[in-house]
Structure 1
């Protein structure tokens, strides 16, 4: 039964480090990995390719059900390759425009319902590390451990700036800061699955922690939870 397969749910705002932390933990544990944000970003790309307007909720939900997605973790990097209907689109998902489209799509109830089944399909043995904004509160409420990662907006903007710069994107730090603040506000007040910690989540502020420090903290929490059964 799928509900016997353990899930580590990592939630939090953009730039909190959950994607990088999730991929590193998935490799360490030998578990599968779900980047739920990539689902919404991929749908944005699919809509653009199909000429579907972001206000057409019915067409977007249908497109979400029909699109084929495959995530392939890279061995030597904290990123995953993403194939949409057989086409590699990973680089297109890392732009700020892609993030804005994803935030808009994530606020549409019809789209969230359509993508819920896809997210559940990633729950396979021996376990799943799921990264997103409502993994612990909505998608996997029975997760063995729920961690809500956060950081101050300026720290998150600086992290995102460095990440995009390292990938060769031309970005503006102030623009990233404003975008993060706007997205936080939009995600916090959306009608469906607003951005907030699950009631039983462990909240971890990563502002003063490096990547390895966060990985060790979360790994330790998971080990303790598994020992308690």
Structure 2
């Protein structure tokens, strides 16, 4: 699979990678896949069906029904959905089913922007531009807290920070595809950046990657 036109944006929760990926998609006219929504959808739909997040076979059955165009659902963006996603993502067979879906998305003519945890390491290691977006846990917790309270969820900043630390440990310690930057990814720490500053920094990283590949 050629990844010349693919941009991968990896990083931990609430680092700003989703906003950056969406902005790059608009800038370059590329389709964007938020891979985290795939796992969130699996978790939420499994729970809605009365299933157990620890039941790998049941999670796989749900994963096989997913389509990228059906991910725009507010139920997949809640705090509970995030926790469910982290739990179903540990199942190797779920990751395998979703790997095929994600690679098919990346293979679209002209490329795509892929946002997630292992886009540049597992899903599309040949991507033409790779970013690893991060920020301090305290900064990420405040961002997520503002997002969730803005959606009407009653949750404390301390709870969100605890959630983020647990998820970071779980995602980094996974036996399959642990969260880590690709060796050739460019690190972008957004801790002290505004949205506009982070978007501009991401654009410059992509432009530099594309310039290096130009004949």
Range into which the TM-score falls when normalised by the shorter chain: over 0.9
- Report deviation, 1:68: 3.6
Question: Please, which of 146, 150, 159 is the counterpart of residue 175 of structure 1?
Answer: 159
Number of aligned positions between the proteins: 212
**CA RMSD of superposed structures (Å):** 1.4
Q: What secondary structure, in the 3-state scheme, does the structure 1 residue paired with 2:54 have?
A: coil
More strand by share: 1
Structure 2 unaligned regions, length at least 5: none
1:228 and 2:192 correspond? no
Match of 1:49? 48
- Report deviation, 1:4: 5.2
Whole-angstrom CA distance in 2 between matches of 1:209 and 1:203:
14
For normalisation by structure 2, the TM-score amounts to 0.93
- Whether the 8 Å CA contact 1:31–1:125 is kept in 2: the answer is no
- Report deviation, 1:125: 2.6
Structure 1 unaligned regions, length at least 5: 72-80, 83-89
1:141 and 2:122 correspond? no
Whole-angstrom CA distance in 1 between matches of 2:42 and 2:55:
13
Match of 1:40? 39
Match of 1:111? 94
Q: What does 1:10-49 align with in structure 2 at a 5 Å threshold?
A: 10-49=9-48
- Whether the 8 Å CA contact 1:5–1:125 is kept in 2: the answer is no
Whole-angstrom CA distance in 1 between matches of 2:44 and 2:166:
21
Question: Deviations for 1:73-104, whole angstroms, at most 9, x for unmatched residues?
Answer: xxxxxxxx61xxxxxxx211121111111001
Question: Deviations for 1:196-227, whole angstroms, at most 9, x for unmatched residues?
Answer: 11111111111001111111111111112212
